[in-house]
Amino acid sequence: MKSPTQPWQMSAAEASALIQARALSAEELTRSCLDRIAARNADVKAWVWLDPERAIRKAKELDKVQIHAGAKSRLHGIPFGVKDMIDTAEMPTTNNSPIYPDNQPSHDAQVVRIMKAAGAFVMGKCDTVEFAAGGRKALTRNPYDFARTPGGSSSGSGAAVGDGQVPIAFGTQTGGSHIRPASFNGAYGIKPTHNTFSWSGARHLSPTLDTLGWYGRSVEDLVLVAEAARMVGIDAMPDVSVKGLKVGFSRTHNWPKAEEGTVGAMERAVRLLTEAGAIVTDLDLPEPFADLNTAQHIVMNGEGRVQFLADYVQNYELLHEDFRKKVENFEAITPEKLLWALDLAAACRPVFDKLFGPELDVILTPSACGEAPFKPSETTGDPAFNSMWTLLHVPTVNIPGHLGPNGLPVGVTLAGPRFGDARLLAIAKAVAPVLDPKAA
Amino acid sequence: MKSPTQPWQMSAAEASALIQARALSAEELTRSCLDRIAARNADVKAWVWLDPERAIRKAKELDKVQIHAGAKSRLHGIPFGVKDMIDTAEMPTTNNSPIYPDNQPSHDAQVVRIMKAAGAFVMGKCDTVEFAAGGRKALTRNPYDFARTPGGSSSGSGAAVGDGQVPIAFGTQTGGSHIRPASFNGAYGIKPTHNTFSWSGARHLSPTLDTLGWYGRSVEDLVLVAEAARMVGIDAMPDVSVKGLKVGFSRTHNWPKAEEGTVGAMERAVRLLTEAGAIVTDLDLPEPFADLNTAQHIVMNGEGRVQFLADYVQNYELLHEDFRKKVENFEAITPEKLLWALDLAAACRPVFDKLFGPELDVILTPSACGEAPFKPSETTGDPAFNSMWTLLHVPTVNIPGHLGPNGLPVGVTLAGPRFGDARLLAIAKAVAPVLDPKAA
């Protein structure tokens, strides 16, 4: 493992180990991250709310907490970013909406409370696509090329972690809002199994799909948060070897959308994993899965109809046309269509889970269509390679490591069955050093 | 229709018609409800927060709003109650939890915002079982017999409407928390199709099950709220005649739990509907449905594991043992069990919907095991006849009208297919005068 020279370059797990050993203070880590932010924020614009003095004060307070043997969480003293449609009691939550410019929630979202109880603290709020759902884009720019999008809707969270500004940040995914930014920004990211993490305190778009996720700078960073969230099985993660690992390479029905960056990322991943002893075979998903992206779109907009009604009736003038259209059912989604979509997904879920067993450990599949596209004020990229997994409720992890034809990061996704999150993280831990030079 | 002598005796729809015609003011309605509350609250204890002066002030403000032809919502000037685990920005939300005794949310739940935008106003907060999930019972007593439970967890909301203290109130249902109190308190109530109403701002127990519902004093009251919530199809409700209506009487697999009150309520309903020209036939649900109550219990507790984690790590000492046990997975619910339950429900949903068509308009089924039981500090009754419908996501409506062997109300449930809510309300409107002497 390479030895970073500055604390901001460390993963949360590396910083945590030093904090536990008293070789690094939370204040030093925080000041280093703040230096990185100061150097980069004018260009990357990941943050919509940040108070450096407050962050340093919080870090100092945590440095003063007495350590009893074994009693300190591995997240103690670690700063994290929060997507600005997740409520925070000590800083505003704008949803990037003109309806909520100074909105100060009274309560932290449950995920923020869980992180705080583990000794972590909120560095600040990360820019988001409006309501994580449409309308205005984030102002955030891709840290690898400011002319490109960082992806979205978790734009600021993905860019902040990918750029070393904060080791951990939270995002959300309804279509491809969490994993795609991980790919575009060279970050690790997990979208866990649906409903295994409390959504309470985050803004809903489509409850059947809305899933909290988090970014880190290594698989171990993802594990740190999973421990605080008491992910099922995280205390007994299996030892996984890449040698003999049965990997199913799923191009999915969306493969025609794969660009040079993603084709290269997948070819490289298949080659490196095979060289490391994995048994990689092509995996064709059953035919009904071809309709899951269409179904995801219908569920998202069908359920989104009621999630913006309160703003529609109270704040119509300030509500972006994208959300007015949802309330007005602009796409004419009938109950029959919505039921078709919900029931197709429900029927595919157990079929997908049953693919796993003695013949298959994990699925390898694209994280995005390719490198991050240009025109960040117009697009956050295409969620084609993410939507299906969100609708299936299955855990996915983005592994960075490949660079596309323009030198921009392109990740690959590992997917497992529902509630197989801990095992998927164990597999990701074994796979990451094979694919990511920084993890080798 | 009987002519009530006091405004508090009116349904919301009756009061609304008079308000629209300027024959009644919101202030008069509110003062009358407050008189009823003053006379009854020491015994019924439906309210945990109520400020009569504030309510009168709100009503007066609404009376001053200018009417333009056709511009005033039918909810204008109507007070409503809110279960105390649904956030309100102008009054506390305690969740009946010692963790939240003075908890003041910054925001109204979306349902409260929608009601306010329609010109209704919050009368006060109604007592609830702790977190609508377990732990402490509400202090509320059954208005028909103070020694009995009003049901729960929507204890105060159901009792307040059943007792004429407020014409409309909101509750929630995860097992049988909404329809059972409707039955026990002689109120009308609807639990709509899952995810057709925003839950945001209410406290989660199990997102796959959690469903907002509302109580009224007539079917038309339920329609008033459905209009404000833009229920699909509510603007074009069909005309339904009981003559020729195809009713399937489903005892369900839980029929052995039916007590004298419920057996009598069902026999009476079958007889009266048949006399009115309906074609009532026995309907046996397919065998897999026998496991749905077990599945509901597994989903509720499996998903509940993560919904109390934030309180567990931050407020352990004040968190009731019921919720600690959920976090600690006291029932040892494995991922396999939870998947079995989720997938069984998903498979049964389209099977249930397909029962409806030319041969079946609506299902008639029990709302509770019988009359409200004694020992309100120990029990809220058995949700055996409700849990299945919650898990199936289908709309259910409670119709009062029957009195059990002890003179206490026992309702019957009408159930329809998913998204058939508006048609179900139209059927309920036709059925209510047959079953409920007060609606005749």
- Tens of pLDDT, residue by residue over B362-389, are 999 999 999 999 999 999 999 999 999 9
- Partners of residue B104 in chain A, C-beta under 8 Å: 106
What is the mean pLDDT of the segment spanning A230-245? 97
Residue among A107, A199, A309 whose CB faces B198 most closely: A309
**pLDDT on residue A70:** 57
CA pair distance A26, A80, nearest whole angstrom? 12
Task: Judge: A118–B313 Cβ closer than 8 Å, yes or no.
Answer: yes
Q: Residues in chain B with pLDDT < 50?
A: 1
Task: Show the DSSP H helices in A23-150 as ranges.
Answer: 26-44, 52-64, 110-117
CA pair distance B315, A62, nearest whole angstrom? 19
Percent of chain A with pLDDT over 90: 97
What residue of B is the nearest CA neighbor of A340?
B350
In angstroms, what CA-CA distances link B136 with A28, B129, B155? Answer: 46, 6, 12
CA A282 to chain centre: 26
- Partners of residue A230 in chain B, C-beta under 8 Å: 306, 309, 327
CA pair distance A103, A87, nearest whole angstrom? 10
CA pair distance B106, B88, nearest whole angstrom? 8
CA pair distance B26, B16, nearest whole angstrom? 9
What digits encode the pLDDT tens for the residues A115-141? 999 999 999 999 999 999 999 999 999
What residue of A is the nearest CA neighbor of B313?
A117
**Residue tagged 């720019």 (tokens):** A141
CB contact residues (below 8 A), chain B span 308-337, against chain A: 309-310, 313-314, 327, 335
What residue of A is the nearest CA neighbor of B110?
A310
CB contact residues (below 8 A), chain B span 250-289, against chain A: none
CB B232 within 8 A of CB A335: yes
Task: Judge: A230–B310 Cβ closer than 8 Å, yes or no.
Answer: no
**Residue A298, CB half-sphere, CA atoms under 13 Å: how many?**
19
Residue among B118, B204, B230 whose CB faces A200 most closely: B204
Q: Among B94, B174, B197, B230, which would you mutate to test the A interface (most chain A Cβ atoms within 10 Å of its Cβ)?
A: B230
**Residue tagged 């609506």 (tokens):** B362
Residue among B105, B111, B229 whose CB faces A106 most closely: B105
On the question of pLDDT at A71 being above 70, the answer is no
| Vertex B34 angle, CA B29 and B35, to 5° | 100
DSSP-assigned states of every residue in A286-325: PGGGGGHHHHHHHHHHHHHHHHTHHHHHH-GGGS-HHHHH
On the question of pLDDT at A67 being above 90, the answer is no
**pLDDT on residue A69:** 55
Q: Which of A83, A125, A137, A429 is catalytic?
A: A83
**pLDDT band per the 50, 70, 90 thresholds, residue A4:** low
**pLDDT on residue A1:** 44
CA B359 to chain centre: 28
- Partners of residue A204 in chain B, C-beta under 8 Å: 198-200
What residue of B is the nearest CA neighbor of A110?
B310
Q: Find, among A414, A416, A407, A415, the residue nearest to A370 by Cα.
A: A407
Q: Is A153 a catalytic residue?
A: yes
List for chain A the helix, strand, coil content (%; round to 5). Answer: 40, 15, 45
CA pair distance A120, A76, nearest whole angstrom? 5
Q: Which residues contact B261 (CB under 8 A, 6 or more apart)?
A: B368, B370, B371, B402, B404, B405, B406, B408, B410
CA quadruple A164, A167, A172, A175: dihedral sign:
positive
What residue of A is the nearest CA neighbor of B114?
A310
On the question of pLDDT at A433 being above 90, the answer is yes
**pLDDT on residue B32:** 98
**pLDDT on residue B72:** 73
What 3-state DSSP class applies to B106?
Answer: coil
Question: How many residues comprise chain B?
Answer: 440
CB neighbourhood size of B101 (10 A):
11
Q: Among B95, B97, B107, which would you mutate to test the A interface (most chain A Cβ atoms within 10 Å of its Cβ)?
A: B107
Residue among A106, A335, A346 whose CB faces B104 most closely: A106
Percent of chain A with pLDDT over 70: 98
Task: Judge: A338–B419 Cβ closer than 8 Å, yes or no.
Answer: yes
CA pair distance A137, A146, nearest whole angstrom? 15
Task: Judge: A306–B198 Cβ closer than 8 Å, yes or no.
Answer: yes
**pLDDT on residue A390:** 98
CA pair distance A201, B323, nearest whole angstrom? 19
- Partners of residue B316 in chain A, C-beta under 8 Å: none
CA pair distance B214, B118, nearest whole angstrom? 15
CB contact residues (below 8 A), chain A span 18-77, against chain B: none
What strands, in cross-sheet order, belong to the sheet with B47-50?
B47-50, B121-126, B79-83, B168-173, B211-216, B188-191, B396-403, B409-415, B362-366, B246-249, B279-282
Task: Judge: A117–B313 Cβ closer than 8 Å, yes or no.
Answer: yes
| Segments of B174-298 assigned E as strands | 188-191, 211-216, 246-249, 279-282
What digits encode the pLDDT tens for the residues A176-196? 999 999 999 999 999 999 999
What residue of A is the nearest CA neighbor of B420?
A335
Rounded to a whole number of angstroms, the distance from the CA of B437 to the nearest CA of chain A is: 35
**Structural domains in chain B plus CATH codes:** 7-283+353-439 (3.90.1300.10)
Rounded to a whole number of angstroms, the distance from the CA of A49 to the nearest CA of chain B is: 19
**pLDDT on residue B419:** 98
Q: Among A88, A106, A234, which would you mutate to test the B interface (most chain B Cβ atoms within 10 Å of its Cβ)?
A: A106
Burial class of B111 by CB neighbour count within 10 A (0 to 12, 13 to 18, 19+): buried
Q: Is B424 on the interface with A (CB under 8 A)?
A: no
Residue among B117, B306, B347 whose CB faces A198 most closely: B306
**pLDDT on residue B1:** 44
Residue among A107, A232, A350 whose CB faces B335 most closely: A232
Residue among A309, A335, A339 whose CB faces B114 most closely: A309
Task: Judge: A200–B110 Cβ closer than 8 Å, yes or no.
Answer: no
**Residue A368, CB half-sphere, CA atoms under 13 Å: how many?**
33
Q: Which residue has the higher pLDDT, A67 or A107?
A: A107
Q: Is A92 on the interface with B (CB under 8 A)?
A: no
What digits encode the pLDDT tens for the residues A156-175? 999 999 999 999 999 999 99
Q: Is B174 on the interface with A (CB under 8 A)?
A: no
Rounded to a whole number of angstroms, the distance from the CA of B97 to the nearest CA of chain A is: 16
Rounded to a whole number of angstroms, the distance from the CA of A419 to the nearest CA of chain B is: 6
On the question of pLDDT at A2 being above 70, the answer is no
CA pair distance A166, A424, nearest whole angstrom? 24
- Partners of residue B347 in chain A, C-beta under 8 Å: 346-347
Backbone angles phi, psi at A366, to 5 degrees: -65, 155
CB neighbourhood size of B86 (10 A):
28
- Partners of residue A232 in chain B, C-beta under 8 Å: 335
What digits encode the pLDDT tens for the residues A341-392? 999 999 999 999 999 999 999 999 999 999 999 999 999 999 999 999 999 9
